[in-house]
Structure 1
Amino acid sequence: MHGSSQEALSPAASRTGIGTNNCSHLEHHQRGITASAPQASAATRELFAGFAAGAANVTSGYPFDTVKVRLQSAPPGAYRGALDCAVKVVRYEGLRRGLFRGLSSPLVGGTLETGVNYLVYSRVLAMLASSAPSAVAGGGAGGAAGPGVTPLSHVAVAGAVAGVALSFILGPTELVKCRMQVARSSARYPGGPFQVLQEAVAAEGWVRGLTRGLGATLAREVPGNAVFFTAYEAARQALRQTSDLQGATTRRADLQGALAAILCGGAAGTLMWALVLPIDVAKTRLQTASPGSPWDVGLMQQWAMLWREGGLRSLYAGLTPTLVRAFPANACQWLAWEAIMRGLG
């Protein structure tokens, strides 16, 4: 689901794609403000790279997400676990129509959401850098590790602000995704995502129908996005302190940069989902509930009902497929972002 530690490149590395360097995340954003290229050019690159990163995330992780949603929305005892759920879905519904049902909506939404997420995050980070340059020049402030290093407090604020923006995209797209994923047959929504939207609007009106679960989405994305970006940047800063690329070949620099993006991105995504999963479970129940049903209640009431139903087991329904999905999906996302940002110069 989910800005970058975009680093400066040597001329050799910039030609090949993913090289690494010890320049800080913040320097990229400062260059976006002071370089001769128009500001819109930097924003366009960030948006385009975010689109590609979102597509990589959604495509690589969608089957795991389908299993997660099925586990979260199923009545107690329907499945013995994630593997049992996946096997039954494939056996009775097929691979494409089972595990990949409803992919079009999150692919469009995830691509747009991730592009907006990275764009807003990068622009807010650049604004914070220009308004408080001493926090970077001096080092140590706001969690920064040293001179020229992005303060982690800036990263957290930028991530949280971006989380607000992306929630308004995620709300309706995840509403469609979740309802299509819990449908036991493709015959339920022969008209696809548009039918889901039409039924939601017909049942509850434009505002309520399209914003069902928006509050829970905001509750998940604002803190979750702050954790996601902060964890990634903190991990990249730690790796920079331990890596030595002086005299390294371009190929070695490329491989180390790719490995760093994979490890840090996967770890950041896994940490975020481990923390926000109870919110996500409640959001799924709310978005798949029929109007007026017992599950058509607010976030706190959802949690109370989940706790009575099965305690922590219910609050963390879908934990296994969520974490199994989180690492590769977010590793692919960050790898795509870093590579494309460097490729676009």
Structure 2
Amino acid sequence: MKLLRQEGLRQGLFRGLSSPLVGGTLETGVNYLVYSRVLSLLGSLAPGAAAGGSVSAPAGSGAPPLSHVAGAGAVAGVALSFILGPTELVKCRMQVAGSSARYPGGPLQVLREAVASEGWVRGLTRGLGATMAREVPGNAVFFTSYEAARRFLGRTSDAPGVTTGGVGLPEAITAVLCGGAAGTLMWALVLPIDVAKTRLQTASPGSPWDVGLLRQWAMLWREGGLRSLYAGLSPTLVRAFPANACQWLAWEGIMRGLG
């Protein structure tokens, strides 16, 4: 409420939004495309495993092994990190600025100041290693848990577009439930990495927080234990379910339309 009184609805609640919107669009496309391509490649190298163009192959014979799913997700996490690193650097710095007057030039000003302060490479890649530390295992968990849950809930029936399971859910509902659960699980596991990454990306060069992940975690633990490591857990999980459910619903629909 204090933020709203000081800066109004637009600046108070939506500061730093343009960067994640742009990054989020690229993120979703790159993540699922790289994942599906790597999964197809792994399938082509392993006779008997599905190599098709769908993100999640039908349950049963020919479905890719979950080890392939995890590997493809991890590789996609590497590619994804190169997009998320700079966009989250901008988002985090704008959100902790405390006032829209700090960055009147918006995201471009954040990037210019980062480059001026630390150079092109260090300035634009601050926190990239921490981003990869979050995205590689997180993405592996995300895709593997989705695929495992979808196979459990969604055994394909004779009726097109309908799945059978405990209650015979339609394919769309299966995608929503499994996608939302996969995203929630992923964020519950990687949130301590994300908290440390945010501290690193918003730290001034040479400041006490300008250190690696292990030292970040040690300082967070001394600061407040698990409460500090899992700062923002509730809103993160509340957002994770619908956001990832929508992603999977859209992507599965696209794949069915193309395939």
Per the normalisation by structure 1, the TM-score is 0.68
Q: 1:131 to 1:283 in 2, by over 3 A?
A: same
- 1:178 corresponds to which residue? 92
Q: 1:303 to 1:340 in 2, by over 3 A?
A: same
Paired letter, 1:96:
R
Q: Does 2:190 correspond to 1:276?
A: yes
CA deviation after TM superposition for structure 1 residue 90, in Å? 3.3
Task: Work out which of the residue numbers 105, 119, 125 in structure 2 matches 1:191.
Answer: 105
Task: Work out which of the residue numbers 197, 200, 214 in structure 2 matches 1:286.
Answer: 200
Taking the aligned partners of 1:259 and 1:289, their CA distance within structure 2 comes to 42
4+ residue stretches of structure 1 with deviation over 6 A?
none
Task: Work out which of the residue numbers 176, 180, 192 in structure 2 matches 1:266.
Answer: 180
Pairs within 5 Å for 1:1-345: 87-135=1-49, 146-241=60-155, 244=157, 246=159, 256-345=170-259
CA deviation after TM superposition for structure 1 residue 247, in Å? 7.7
Q: 1:248 to 1:323 in 2, by over 3 A?
A: closer
Bigger shift: residues 111-120 or 158-167: 111-120
* 2:176–2:246 contact (8 Å) kept in structure 1: yes
Paired letter, 1:260:
T
Q: Deviations over 1:289-320 (max 9, x none)?
A: 11111111111110000000000000000101
SS in 1 for 2:239: helix
Q: Deviations over 1:186-230 (max 9, x none)?
A: 111110000000000111111110110011001000000000000
Taking the aligned partners of 1:258 and 1:94, their CA distance within structure 2 comes to 38
CA deviation after TM superposition for structure 1 residue 245, in Å? 5.5
SS in 1 for 2:122: helix
Sequence identity (%): 83
CA deviation after TM superposition for structure 1 residue 146, in Å? 4.0
Taking the aligned partners of 1:148 and 1:134, their CA distance within structure 2 comes to 6
Paired letter, 2:145:
A
- 2:166 corresponds to which residue? none
Alignment length, in residue pairs? 247
Unaligned stretches of 5+ residues in structure 1? 1-86, 138-143, 250-254
Q: 1:262 to 1:92 in 2, by over 3 A?
A: farther
Paired letter, 1:132:
A
Paired letter, 1:236:
R
Taking the aligned partners of 2:200 and 2:194, their CA distance within structure 1 comes to 10
CA deviation after TM superposition for structure 1 residue 244, in Å? 4.3
